[in-house]
Amino acid sequence: MATGSLFEPDSLPPAQPNEPRPGAPLAERMRPSTLNDYAGQQHLIGPEGVLRRYLQAGRLPSLILWGPPGVGKTTLANLLAQALGKPFASLSAVNAGVKDVREVIERAKKQRGTVLFIDEIHRFSKSQQDALLGAVEQGIVTLIGATTENPSFEVVPAVLSRAQVYVLESLGKDILIGIVDKALAEDEVLKQRNVRMQDYGALLTISGGDARKLLNLLEIVVEASRPNPETGGIVITDEVVQQLAQQHLARYDKGGEMHYDVISAFIKSIRGSDPNAALYYLAIMLEGGEDPKFIARRLLILSSEDVGLANPNALMLAQSCFQAVAVIGMPESDIILGQTVVYLASSPKSNASYKAIREARAFVRQHGPQPVPIPLRNAPTKLMKELGYGNEYQYSHDYPGNFAFQEFLPEALSGHRFYEPGHNPAEAKAQERLRQLWGEKYGY
């Protein structure tokens, strides 16, 4: 459903600077009111940022803002609309339907260029997302969607093709400390409490880079702390934060808060070969109502990133798990997920292929693509054949053992090794074969 006065009779209100309601949480009270107050994301809104350039040109395309909780997606959407003086409408995909979308679009037809912000757009069904297409194409609305999930999986291709995807980065330590200091210096409530920060570590660790969680935790700690009888001030230490936070930790929330902590612990437990811990965190997510496809996707990635060639069957099982979960759904999917989790956690581990492709891509980004060797080039035309494309190529299957010793890398990279086999039986066998085939060429 819409927020604020979205469905007032005739028009949509322009985006407004932040004016928190009385008694609002600290995170709401400290919400930036201008882009100059906005913390982080300088790659987007800094002097050379792409969104800043759009604003300078007086226009804004439809956007998908992808990033973890608490990095400012909602705030950024409002500030972008505010900077251009555009009417602003906001929907939450948690409780809005197709009817709500159509009502906003009807209002927006009277005010072309309305910015329509949809929080958690990944929760919209295909029909709900499809209802946006015509209005976006015709310029009736400029769509800004916010998501914590990979848009490639969760946003329908038709919407994705009409919007630019921008990644919001996790907030760094210095930015988070700055947010705390700014709140203590400027918030009307906290200024009266005479708070001094002795330690920041526990606040930053527990909040996990989520600015909203950080500020709300700070407020909890300040409110629960007893002032020093002599000075009347409050001193925040790591010990105090840990004690008070433990008493106020929320239950698992698939929309934020513990979401990223639990999935992180889940992945790390499987990577660390502890099926018992992995099953425990799986149970927390399932009991909290987490989307089983979200879990299955993480298992699919992990099967390649962390198990890899130490057990190639892991990828096939994880793929089967993802397909089965998509077909079956809950509650029975817990059985399939549990089986896959135990298998992956119990498997030997290797990140050798993961590191290899990362290194290869980094090399290409740094040095650019090198010329493909002439024997390996395709020769579909007469001219290309005359230039020698494909000449001297040795068809591997014409040789003993289906192998012919020849150069496949560009000349400048001859002998360069990207793949370092992991220390496990499966890759030791692969390494021995590579050594037999290539001798000293790659140093295997």
Percentage of the residues of the chain whose pLDDT score is greater than 90: 23
On the question of pLDDT at 25 being above 70, the answer is: yes
Residue 366, pLDDT score: 86
Is the pLDDT higher at 82 or at 382? 82
Which SS3 state, helix, strand or coil, does residue 196 take? strand
pLDDT attached to residue 339 = 96
Q: Please tell me which residue, 369 or 19, carries the higher pLDDT value.
A: 369
Query: Above pLDDT 70, what percent of the chain?
Result: 91
Spell out the residues 6+ positions from residue 259 whose beta carbon is closer than 8 angstroms to its own.
69, 148, 252, 253, 290
Q: Give 25-66 as a DSSP string.
A: -HHHHT--SSGGG--S-HHHHSTT-HHHHHHHTT----EEEE
At a CB cut-off of 8 Å and minimum separation 6, what does 8 contact? none
pLDDT for position 21: 53
Which structural domains are found in the chain, ordered by start? 26-167 (3.40.50.300), 173-248 (1.10.8.60), 259-346 (1.20.272.10), 362-438 (1.10.3710.10)
Q: Flag the least confident range among 175-184, 185-194, 244-253, 374-383.
A: 244-253
Tokens at 402, concatenated? 């289906």
pLDDT in tens, 84-115: 888 888 888 777 777 888 888 888 887 777 88
Q: How confident is the model at residue 206 (pLDDT cuts 50, 70, 90)?
A: confident
Residue 384 pLDDT: 66
pLDDT at residue 231, as a whole number:
76
Dihedral angle, C-alpha 190, 192, 194, 197, nearest 10 °: 10
More confident residue, 439 or 155: 439
Question: pLDDT value at position 17?
Answer: 53
Q: Which of 4-13, 58-67, 156-165, 291-300 has the highest mean pLDDT?
A: 291-300
Q: Helices 333-346 and 259-271, interaxial angle, to 10°?
A: 50
Q: What is the pLDDT of residues 404-428, one digit of tens each?
A: 898 888 888 899 999 999 999 999 9
What are the tens digits of pLDDT across the range 233-243? Answer: 788 888 888 87
Write the DSSP string, 277-295. Answer: HHHHHHHHHHHTT--HHHH
Burial of 21 (0-12, 13-18, 19+ CB in 10 A): exposed
User: Is 401 a residue whose pLDDT tops 90?
Assistant: no
pLDDT over 60 (residue 346): yes
Does position 248 have pLDDT exceeding 70, yes or no? Answer: no
